[in-house]
């Protein structure tokens, strides 16, 4: 087997079951000159499973800007593998800047595809898969979280987001408030011993997890908005006026967009006009 050519190798790793590590990924981890990791304690176990003794170096949110130039310089002569603690690098982590800088410097970038929790959860949820939007983690603060939800309320696609057990109830409640009571699913511990995927509506799922936050890695999948008949402009103004009695212009626009099928951005502009009267 020839040595790896110099460059950056994006290596997807298992999200639970170590048997999901592909033979090609294991080969890269055995032959790379350096393996960039989020947490060496996590990746050390994976390297043992792959039969690799290659050196590791940290690459994460806290040191990425500082160490990235040195890593890019090494790519001219070395094969460097990038892994995350679990799943596909660059999905909800800082790796895209390394890929960008490596390409700008003229170095080869190769992907070794494999597990991704967002895609795995989408296949489990039983919700439409033809169009989907990955949101990562929603903001932790309540107002910022509701604002982020309002931005995507009118998007006609299945939504996918990551969440932790202690925050799950609050997030499901906020999603129900901002999107309406859409069908949804909560997938956790994918590919692990206690894997489960619970479906229902956002309201029913929020109630389920109100008193007993689940453990493990969690992915929430939310169905797209249902088809709603368009209504006349006069009725839209009436609906907006009523919503503005209770909500901010942004949230009022999202609520009326979902109910009427009108574009949320147009409704937001109209809501601001009405608010200023």
Identify the CATH number of the domain in which residue 163 sits. Answer: 3.30.950.10
Q: Clarify whether residues 201 and 249 are in a common domain.
A: no
DSSP state letters, 55-106: -EEE-STTTHHHHHHHHHHHTTT-EEEE--SSB-TTSSSTHHHHHHHHHHTT
Q: Clarify whether residues 66 and 155 are in a common domain.
A: no
Number of structural domains the chain divides into: 3
pLDDT for 93 equals 77
Q: Clarify whether residues 28 and 108 are in a common domain.
A: yes
Residue 227 lies inside a defined structural domain of this protein: no
Residue 96 lies inside a defined structural domain of this protein: yes
Residue 228 lies inside a defined structural domain of this protein: no
> Can you give the residue range of the structural domain that contains 159?
118-222
Question: Where among 115, 147, 177 does a domain terminate?
Answer: 115
Bridge-based pairing of strands 196-201 and 183-188 is antiparallel
Q: Clarify whether residues 77 and 30 are in a common domain.
A: yes
Q: Clarify whether residues 194 and 266 are in a common domain.
A: no
Q: Clarify whether residues 146 and 78 are in a common domain.
A: no
pLDDT for 254 equals 82
Beta bridge partners of 133: 159
Closest of 249, 189, 195, 238 to residue 218, by C-alpha? 189
Question: Where among 115, 132, 151 does a domain terminate?
Answer: 115
pLDDT for 235 equals 77
pLDDT in tens for each of the 277 residues of the chain?
458 999 999 999 999 999 999 999 999 999 999 999 999 999 999 999 999 999 999 999 899 999 999 999 999 999 999 999 999 999 887 789 999 999 999 999 999 999 999 999 999 999 999 999 999 999 999 999 999 999 999 899 999 999 999 999 999 999 999 999 899 999 999 999 999 999 999 999 999 999 889 999 999 999 999 754 456 677 788 888 888 888 899 888 888 876 666 778 888 898 998 887 7
pLDDT for 240 equals 86
Identify the CATH number of the domain in which residue 110 sits. Answer: 3.40.1010.10
Question: Where among 96, 115, 134 does a domain terminate?
Answer: 115
Closest of 184, 175, 174, 208 to residue 124, by C-alpha? 184
């Amino acid at each position: 087997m020839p040595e790896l050519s110099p460059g950056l190798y994006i290596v997807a790793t298992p999200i639970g079951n170590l048997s999901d590590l592909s033979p090609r990924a294991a080969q890269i981890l055995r032959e790379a000159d350096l393996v960039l990791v989020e947490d060496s304690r996590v990746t050390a176990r994976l390297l043992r499973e792959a039969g690799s003794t290659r050196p590791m170096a940290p690459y994460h949110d806290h040191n990425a800007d500082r160490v990235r130039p040195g890593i890019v310089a090494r790519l001219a002569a070395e094969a460097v593998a990038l892994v995350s603690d679990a799943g596909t690098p660059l999905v909800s982590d800082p790796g895209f800047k390394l890929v960008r800088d490596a390409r700008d410097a003229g170095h080869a970038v190769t992907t070794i595809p494999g597990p991704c929790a967002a895609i795995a959860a989408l296949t489990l949820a039983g919700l439409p898969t033809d169009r989907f939007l990955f949101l990562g983690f929603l903001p932790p603060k309540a107002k910022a979280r509701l604002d982020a939800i309002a931005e995507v309320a009118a998007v006609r696609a299945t939504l996918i987001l990551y969440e932790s057990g202690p925050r799950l109830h609050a997030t499901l409640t906020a999603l129900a408030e901002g999107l309406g009571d859409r069908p949804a699913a909560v997938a956790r511990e994918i590919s692990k011993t206690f894997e489960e995927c619970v479906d229902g509506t956002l309201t029913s799922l929020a109630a389920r997890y109100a008193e007993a936050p689940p453990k493990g890695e969690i992915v929430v999948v939310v169905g797209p908005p249902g088809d709603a008949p368009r209504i006349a402009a006069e009725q839209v103004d009436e609906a907006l006026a009523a919503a503005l009695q209770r909500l901010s212009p942004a949230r009022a626009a999202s609520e009326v967009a979902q109910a009427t099928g009108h574009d949320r951005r147009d409704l937001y502009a109209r809501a601001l006009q009405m608010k200023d009267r």
